[in-house]
Amino acid sequence: MTVETPTRVSPLAAWQSRLARLPTGVRARELPFLTQLTLRARPGTTAARAVEAALGVTLPGPVRAEMSGEVTVVWMGPDEWLLVAPDGRRQELLAGLRSAIGDEFATVTDVSAQRTTLALEGHLVREVLAQGCAIDLDPRVTPVGACPTTLLAQAPVTLVVRGEAASDVWLLVRSSFASYLATWLVDACREYLGLSGAPGASRDRSRR
């Protein structure tokens, strides 16, 4: 008997066409099915150092993310990090990290199904996010590598700044909030439709 593999449907599968029609200056796409692992370990311990050696990256400090190759390590708390990697690397990373940790006191848990990732790029991203986020996205306050966990339009998100002046960000959002957040994003971009797309073509909300 042939067993069919279930078809995976991402939380924002129905939104791809609408996200593709955002105004010039904001490009949005879902990064579905990313591998996401929660690491719990005390910083500086043998377990933490073993994980760093296995990943080839230093576990970042408070509200920081380290982007090394295909793996992004996001600080989530004093002894907690989220490891984000491409789809298909879950088993490899789980096995490798658990082997590196051995009998040391630390845990690695697969949480890939909890969140999806919305990637935003463009010179208007900072302005659009400022409509619903209390975090100051000025690069002097929130530089590349910052990863604040906050509310965006009342939806809990972890915002990973990947480009200068927040021109390239990831929004890590719970799957149950993803559709709501996409609705808000499309609405927040309406006033920019028809603009030339040049920086400064609209008022800079980040200065308010």
Q: What is the CATH number of domain 35-110?
A: 3.30.70.1520
Q: Is 140 left (phi over 0), alpha (psi -120 to 50) or beta?
A: alpha
pTM: 0.88
CA pair distance 149, 73, nearest whole angstrom: 14
According to the model, what pLDDT value does residue 69 have? 83
Spatial strand order of the sheet with 107-110 comes to 65-68, 71-77, 80-85, 35-40, 107-110
Contact 181, 175 (CB under 8 A): no
For domain 13-32+114-193, give its CATH number from 3.40.630.10, 3.40.50.1370, 3.30.1360.120, 3.40.50.150.
3.30.1360.120
68 pLDDT higher than 90: no
Within the chain, all domains assigned CATH 3.30.70.1520 are found at 35-110
- 207 vs 92, higher pLDDT: 92
In residues, how long is the chain? 208
Within the chain, all domains assigned CATH 3.30.1360.120 are found at 13-32+114-193
Angle at 14 between CA 69 and CA 70, to 5 degrees: 5
According to the model, what pLDDT value does residue 25 have? 94
According to the model, what pLDDT value does residue 154 have? 96
